[in-house]
Structure 1
Amino acid sequence: MAQKLVPESKKGLAKFRNEVANELGIPFSDYNGDLSSRQCGSVGGEMVRKMVEQYEKKI
Protein backbone atom coordinates (compact mmCIF):
# COMPACT_ATOMS: atom_id res chain seq x y z
CA MET A 1 0.00 0.00 0.00
CA ALA A 2 1.27 3.47 -0.90
CA GLN A 3 2.03 5.87 1.91
CA LYS A 4 0.10 9.15 1.83
CA LEU A 5 2.34 12.19 1.61
CA VAL A 6 0.00 14.35 3.73
CA PRO A 7 -2.32 12.14 5.81
CA GLU A 8 -4.21 15.19 7.11
CA SER A 9 -5.32 16.05 3.57
CA LYS A 10 -8.08 13.41 3.62
CA LYS A 11 -10.40 15.58 5.74
CA GLY A 12 -9.69 18.67 3.67
CA LEU A 13 -10.38 16.90 0.39
CA ALA A 14 -13.60 15.41 1.75
CA LYS A 15 -14.76 18.88 2.80
CA PHE A 16 -13.84 20.29 -0.61
CA ARG A 17 -15.65 17.42 -2.37
CA ASN A 18 -18.80 18.04 -0.33
CA GLU A 19 -18.69 21.78 -1.06
CA VAL A 20 -18.38 21.15 -4.80
CA ALA A 21 -21.15 18.53 -4.72
CA ASN A 22 -23.42 21.01 -2.91
CA GLU A 23 -22.71 23.66 -5.54
CA LEU A 24 -23.68 21.17 -8.25
CA GLY A 25 -26.76 20.00 -6.36
CA ILE A 26 -25.46 16.43 -6.01
CA PRO A 27 -26.21 14.74 -2.66
CA PHE A 28 -22.82 13.32 -1.64
CA SER A 29 -22.58 11.36 1.60
CA ASP A 30 -20.54 8.53 3.13
CA TYR A 31 -22.32 6.11 0.77
CA ASN A 32 -22.62 7.17 -2.85
CA GLY A 33 -23.70 3.90 -4.47
CA ASP A 34 -26.97 5.41 -5.62
CA LEU A 35 -25.27 8.16 -7.64
CA SER A 36 -24.54 7.76 -11.33
CA SER A 37 -21.01 7.68 -12.73
CA ARG A 38 -21.79 10.94 -14.48
CA GLN A 39 -22.70 12.64 -11.19
CA CYS A 40 -19.56 11.41 -9.44
CA GLY A 41 -17.44 12.34 -12.45
CA SER A 42 -18.87 15.84 -12.59
CA VAL A 43 -17.91 16.41 -8.95
CA GLY A 44 -14.36 15.15 -9.55
CA GLY A 45 -14.02 17.16 -12.75
CA GLU A 46 -15.20 20.34 -11.07
CA MET A 47 -12.77 19.73 -8.18
CA VAL A 48 -9.87 19.46 -10.63
CA ARG A 49 -11.02 22.54 -12.54
CA LYS A 50 -11.11 24.57 -9.30
CA MET A 51 -7.70 23.29 -8.17
CA VAL A 52 -6.12 24.21 -11.52
CA GLU A 53 -7.79 27.62 -11.39
CA GLN A 54 -6.38 28.21 -7.88
CA TYR A 55 -2.90 27.14 -8.99
CA GLU A 56 -2.98 29.42 -12.03
CA LYS A 57 -3.91 32.38 -9.82
CA LYS A 58 -0.81 31.74 -7.71
CA ILE A 59 1.65 31.79 -10.62
Structure 2
Amino acid sequence: MARSNTLVVQQAKAALDQMKYEVAQELGVPLSPSGYNGNLATRDAGSIGGNITKRLVQIAEQSLGGYKR
Protein backbone atom coordinates (compact mmCIF):
# COMPACT_ATOMS: atom_id res chain seq x y z
CA MET A 1 0.00 0.00 0.00
CA ALA A 2 1.40 3.40 -0.99
CA ARG A 3 1.91 6.06 1.65
CA SER A 4 -0.54 8.92 1.30
CA ASN A 5 2.03 11.56 2.27
CA THR A 6 4.53 10.75 -0.47
CA LEU A 7 5.58 13.93 -2.26
CA VAL A 8 4.82 14.05 -5.96
CA VAL A 9 7.54 16.69 -6.45
CA GLN A 10 10.48 15.74 -4.25
CA GLN A 11 11.98 19.25 -4.52
CA ALA A 12 8.92 20.57 -2.65
CA LYS A 13 10.16 19.06 0.64
CA ALA A 14 12.43 22.01 1.49
CA ALA A 15 9.66 24.52 0.76
CA LEU A 16 7.17 22.58 2.87
CA ASP A 17 9.65 22.30 5.74
CA GLN A 18 10.27 26.05 5.56
CA MET A 19 6.53 26.71 5.58
CA LYS A 20 6.15 24.42 8.63
CA TYR A 21 8.70 26.42 10.62
CA GLU A 22 7.20 29.76 9.51
CA VAL A 23 3.69 28.71 10.54
CA ALA A 24 4.90 27.29 13.86
CA GLN A 25 6.74 30.54 14.62
CA GLU A 26 3.65 32.62 13.77
CA LEU A 27 1.56 30.43 16.10
CA GLY A 28 4.18 30.57 18.86
CA VAL A 29 4.75 26.81 18.76
CA PRO A 30 8.40 25.85 19.32
CA LEU A 31 9.71 23.20 16.93
CA SER A 32 12.94 21.32 17.50
CA PRO A 33 15.66 22.09 14.94
CA SER A 34 16.68 18.41 15.14
CA GLY A 35 13.41 17.45 13.47
CA TYR A 36 12.09 15.41 16.41
CA ASN A 37 8.90 16.92 17.79
CA GLY A 38 7.51 13.99 19.75
CA ASN A 39 6.71 16.27 22.67
CA LEU A 40 4.49 18.49 20.53
CA ALA A 41 0.86 18.61 21.64
CA THR A 42 -1.64 17.16 19.18
CA ARG A 43 -3.54 20.43 19.18
CA ASP A 44 -0.40 22.37 18.19
CA ALA A 45 0.49 19.88 15.46
CA GLY A 46 -3.06 20.13 14.11
CA SER A 47 -2.91 23.93 14.12
CA ILE A 48 0.33 23.88 12.17
CA GLY A 49 -1.01 21.36 9.65
CA GLY A 50 -4.30 23.21 9.25
CA ASN A 51 -2.57 26.52 8.60
CA ILE A 52 -0.21 24.91 6.09
CA THR A 53 -3.21 23.43 4.28
CA LYS A 54 -4.92 26.85 4.19
CA ARG A 55 -1.80 28.42 2.68
CA LEU A 56 -1.42 25.68 0.09
CA VAL A 57 -5.06 26.10 -0.96
CA GLN A 58 -4.55 29.88 -1.27
CA ILE A 59 -1.44 29.32 -3.39
CA ALA A 60 -3.33 26.89 -5.63
CA GLU A 61 -6.24 29.30 -6.03
CA GLN A 62 -3.89 32.12 -6.95
CA SER A 63 -2.03 29.98 -9.47
CA LEU A 64 -5.32 29.00 -11.11
CA GLY A 65 -6.14 32.69 -11.40
CA GLY A 66 -9.20 33.18 -13.53
CA TYR A 67 -10.06 29.51 -13.86
CA LYS A 68 -13.77 28.89 -13.39
CA ARG A 69 -15.81 25.74 -13.77
TM norm structure 2? 0.71
Task: Give the SS at the match of 2:54.
Answer: helix
User: What are the residue-to-residue correspondences of 1:35-54 with 2, within 5 Å?
Assistant: 35-54=40-59
CA RMSD in angstroms comes to 1.8
Structure 2 match to 1:33: 38
Tell me the matched-pair count: 59
Any unmatched runs of 5+ in structure 1?
Answer: none
Gaps of 5+ in 2: none
Hey, what does 2:17 align to over in structure 1? 14
* Greater relative contact order (Cα < 8 A, sep 6+): 1
Q: Which has the higher helix share?
A: 1
Shift of residue 56, structure 1, vs aligned partner: 2.5
Name the CA distance, whole Å, in 2 between partners of 1:14 and 1:52. 17
Q: What is the identity percentage for the equivalent residue pairs of Structure 1 and Structure 2?
A: 37
Rg larger in 1 or in 2?
Answer: 2
